[in-house]
Structures are given as C-alpha cells and as structure tokens.
Amino acid sequence: MCGICGKFAFGPSEMVAPELVRAMAETIHHRGPNDEGYYVSGPIGLGFRRLSIIDLQSGHQPLSNEDGSIWTVFNGEIYNYKELRALLISSGHVFKTQSDTEVIVHLYEEFGPDCIKRLRGMFALAIWDDNTKTLLLARDRVGIKPLYYCLSDSSLVFASEIKAVLADPSIKRKMVPELVDRFLTFLYVPGEETLLSGISKLAPGHYLLINKGNVVISRYWDLQFREPARGASFQEAEDQLLSILAETVELHMIADVPVGILLSGGVDSTGILSLAVNATNKKISTFTVGFSGGEVTDERPFARLAADKFETQHYETTISADDFATFLPRYIWHMEEPACEPPAIALYYITKLARKYVTVLLSGEGGDEGFAGYSNYRNLVWLERLKAAGPSLSQLFSRGFSLADSVFRSSRLTKYGRLMNDKFPNYYYSRTSNPYSFTGDGLGKIYSSDYAEAVNREYSLQPVRRLQDHVRGQNTLDAMLYIDTKTWLPDDLLIKADKMTMANSIELRVPLLDHRVLEFAASLAPSFKLRGRDTKHILKKALSKKIPGEIRNRPKTGFPVPYERWLRNDLKDVIWDVLTDSKTINRGFFRRDGVESLLKANSNGTNYSKEIFSLLSLELWQRTFLDEEQVVL
C-alpha cells in the first residue's frame, strides 16, 4: 500500500522537474513512510511513497522491465500475482523481485492496456511506455483505491491524493460553485468531478491512455446483473458463495507483515474473521471502538464475543466529543472531498490504535452493497410492488401512510407516503430518497437568492441520472445495488476507508468487494438476497454456522457514532461560530437567517445533524483547500 504521483508534460521539448515530483510525493508521506522512489526522464516524472507489505527488501518503486523501457508506480495489492508471475515466467519474462508490482510491467509487455483485465485486487497505477511515449493510468474495478488527475493543454498531473496534484504550482485552486448543490443533494460528491476545477477522479473500472496529445478513457469492467443459472438451488448458491468467500479471504491474508481485523460486532466483519482464522496459523489481532457518554449501541460486547470465540488478541479504544472535535480539521485535510461521514473519525482513531500492532487490516465493508443489507432496499422493493398493484391500491396505502403519520408522528411513514405517488427514478438517488432537503419545505430555503437562482438540478443529479438510464427496465433491487456500487460506495464509503486508514499508514483490505464476490452476488436472484423482512439473506446463511448466534440474530445498527448528540450539545458553540461567521456567509451560498433557523431547529430537537455536519464540512474544506488556512476549532 502506497502513494503514487507523477506528471507527463506534452511537447517535444517539455521536461519534468525532479524537485516537483519530490514535492508531490512529500505531501503524501503518510501513505508510505517506509521508502520513496522517483523516475524522471524528459517529459515524464513518476513519484512513489511506500508502505512495505510484500517483498519487504526488494519491492522498491518505480520499477521497470528488463531493459528499462516500461516503468510503473502502483498503489494497492494484486492478489493473484503469484499465478500471473508463473504465467509470465513460462512466457520468458525474467523477474528481479518477488513483488506483485513487477507482475504489472511484464503483464503490460505481454498484453498492453488489456493487462488491467487480468489483475485481481485493489489498485491505482501508472505505466510509462518509453518506446511509444505512452502513459497509462488505471483504477481497480470498484474504486477501492483513489486516483486523481488534472489534464490541461500542457500536461497531465496525477496522484493518489488531491493535495499531491495541488503541489504543482501550475494548478490553481479554483472551486466549481455548481457542485455545492450536488454535494448538498447527496451529502458527498458522486461522479468523476471534484469541487476543485480541473481535478477529476478516474472512474472505477476505467483506464486512461494518453499518447501524442490524444486522451482515451475506457471502461474495462462493469458489474452485470444477469439472470441466475436455471436450476441452481439456494443451497447450491450458498455453498458456492462460502467457497468463493473462503478463497477470497485467504488471498487477502497474503502479507509479509502482521494482519488484523476491524470488528464492528456485526455479521460481515465477524464472518471475515471466521474465515481468516482458517487462512493463517498466526494469531490474529482484532480491533473495535466505543464512544463515551452512552446513548448509542455499544458494539464492543459483540466484538469481544467474536474475539473470544476465535481466540484473537483483542484491542479496544474509546473516543469522546473532544476527540471528535480535535480531529475535525485533520479529517477535512485527509478526506480532501467534503462528505457527511462522521464514522470516518472513529475509523481514524481505531486505525491509530491498530497501527501499534499491525500494518494490514481487513474489514467487512461492502457486504451491504453487494448483498442488499440495508433496510432501505427492502422497504423500497416493497413500495414498488405496492405501486405495481395498481393506482387504487397505491392511493389507499398513501392515505394509510399519511394517517399513520398523523397518529404516530413518524417521518419515515410520511416519506413512504410521498414516494407512493412518485416514480422510482425521481426519488432514488443513491442512498437517499430526499435529495432536495436543503431547499425543501423541511428546512426552509437556506440558499442565498443568487445561488438558488444559479442552481441547475439536472446538473446536480447528472452522475446518477446516467446510471438510472443504464438500469432502466432492471428490477428494483438490482437497480439500487448497481447505482450504489457506482456512486455511494466509491465516492463516499471507500474514500473514507482509504483516506482514514492511510492517515495512519495502515493498509485496509475489503474481501467482500473482491470483484469475483460482487459478480457472484450480482448473478443471484433478488429473492436470494432479500427474503421477507430478512436483508442480506444468503450472506447471513452462508456465514451462519461460523459466527455466534448473538451476532447473527442481532438487529442491524450501522456504525453508531453519537455525533448527533455531540453536534447538539458539546460542539454547539463551535458549529454556530463557524457556520454563521461572516467569512462563511460572504461566500454567497447561504442566507444567514436560513442557517440560524437550521441550527436552532436542531438544538430544539429536530434532527438535522447530517445537514449541519455537511455544511460544517463544506466550510472547513473551503478554508483548508481554497484559503489554505491552518484550521483550528
């Protein structure tokens, strides 16, 4: 696990300065504190920071082929590298290291850009072909590892993190105002654009090829939801899934350094642990986090239960409101893109603890997106079935939802009542059914009149609209899983997972997001994933004999960070000061009275914690990346 960066200068006489590449790499020192390396030759410069995981002695990068004509820098892990290495040796390639990185250069020699399709793992990489003066950038299928780039008329600059791209003084820090509405619609920024003008994300499952000024971006993989094999029983599918998971976890345990497991106390992480203990003869360390002050479900007793069953070396940490507030400015600096992800701060503190004992962590991230683990999936599938039953029945249920809301005061019922009269593409925007909360009646209009007038809703929704067109005609569950796998997963959850773990120089691996696991999940009938009220049905069944019943049968709680209470009480004054500050208001996006009304409503008991945390993240992001301030709260 590492950090990569580089620059390709266009034009026959253009040269890349070695000191620039070093400056870029230095900004991401935290991603690779063990080693650094550079290759600078004429128009190309490649930089590398290494966190040593495999082949500790000779895995130095940048790394070349036999004659030095092909060079690569690579961030990630290739889990099938031993198999590929054997194939390449049989074809006559000569290896000088035992690293997975060297497989990439020889694979490129053999297959060109199509070599990416043969890699199984998580990666962001660059390959320089000196023979043809071609640069290839590629990102793994799901987007586990990030890769940013800035393409101009004179150069292409790329890196694992935005801050390394910004180290090039030719790149100006300019915001895209239109994307503020996209961020506040989704509470993260889906799609390939970032809030910084000219800086883009290479989309998951894509590669970028640049030669003689021609730029081609191609998709090499997509998640296909297809009809399941006829005659395959649920039991056969369950057995096959367990076999795939066992193989995947075993591959993810490959390392020349200590490996641990993040335990949340849920089915996915406990299931990963149950498979990991069979894949190694070494004692496994496990880690979990709790929160001071109560009021949320404590995951630690369930994590201890799993740790005891599998006889791990178990460690815990506790974070407080003060810890949360203290880290917020660094949270913004590491995340680089605003996102409503308070659990990211808890992830930082638990990996800070883990770094004392291990260098690699496995987590259960991705099980919900692959196998339909969220209640939202179940509820909306049933909603669409009710609507399909006919308009009279839809109206009946809509009136019933509204009546129940007036009796029980349940906003959830109100939401579903509204959705009964709307079409699925109009309300399903990647994990939220309320995309206009910042301008809707619920909050009042907090946008300034000028900004509200400038907002283009279709532009804000563009990344998801494209995906909705792609899944048109697909069943409701598969459509939701596809959209989330393409947006919320890579642009929010996996950014959080990568940035917070790498902040502590920890490599995080996510076996449930191995592309073969996802492809198998996509091949299953929806009824194998959702059965009655049971979400993630087949995954739970496959792991049921391996995990304690108390964990298997407990309700899903998510990651219960008590940030709602902290924002309302402990951090109330700090938030008020930042969000009503003249600097914030003078940016021109928000009305002061609208922001104040939002904060007062939240203090009085209406839960606007997501909206407030998002506004806070946005302002701190602007101060950090536009104003270049050293933010202290």
List, by residue number, the catalytic residues. Answer: 2
For 214, residues 6+ apart whose C-beta sits below 8 A from its C-beta are none
* Closest to 354 in 3D by CA, of 240, 467, 220, 501: 501
Taking the alpha carbons of 242, 248, 251, 257 in that order, is the dihedral positive or negative? Answer: negative
Classify strands 155-159 and 2-9 as parallel, antiparallel or unpaired.
Answer: antiparallel
Partners of residue 77 on adjacent β-strands: 122
- Amino acid letter for position 241: L
- Amino acid letter for position 622: Q
Kindly write down the DSSP assignment for every residue of 252-267, as one continuous string.
Answer: HT--SS-EEEE--SSH
Task: Identify each DSSP E strand in 333-477 by its residue range.
Answer: 360-362
* Closest to 498 in 3D by CA, of 192, 148, 152, 40: 148
Residues in the chain: 633
Q: Residue by residue, what is the 3-state secondary structure of 28-53?
A: CHHHCECEEEEEEECCEEEEEEECCC
CA 237 to CA 262: how far, in whole Å?
27
Whole-angstrom CA distances from 479 to 427, 476, 516 are 13, 5, 19
Alpha helices (H) in 213-366, listed in sequence order: 234-252, 267-276, 300-309, 321-335, 343-354
* Closest to 438 in 3D by CA, of 595, 300, 298, 323: 595
CB 510 within 8 A of CB 122: yes
CA 252 to CA 80: how far, in whole Å?
10
DSSP state at residue 112: G
565 by Cβ neighbours in 10 Å (0-12 / 13-18 / 19+) ranks as middle
For 95, residues 6+ apart whose C-beta sits below 8 A from its C-beta are 85, 88, 89, 102, 106
In the numeric block, which tokens belong to residue 435? 């995309």
CA 253 to CA 122: how far, in whole Å?
14
* Closest to 418 in 3D by CA, of 406, 409, 430, 427: 427
Residue 507 main-chain phi, psi, to 5 deg: -90, 125
* Closest to 337 in 3D by CA, of 209, 217, 166, 458: 166
In the numeric block, which tokens belong to residue 213? 């000024």
For 240, residues 6+ apart whose C-beta sits below 8 A from its C-beta are 520
Taking the alpha carbons of 453, 457, 462, 464 in that order, is the dihedral positive or negative? Answer: positive
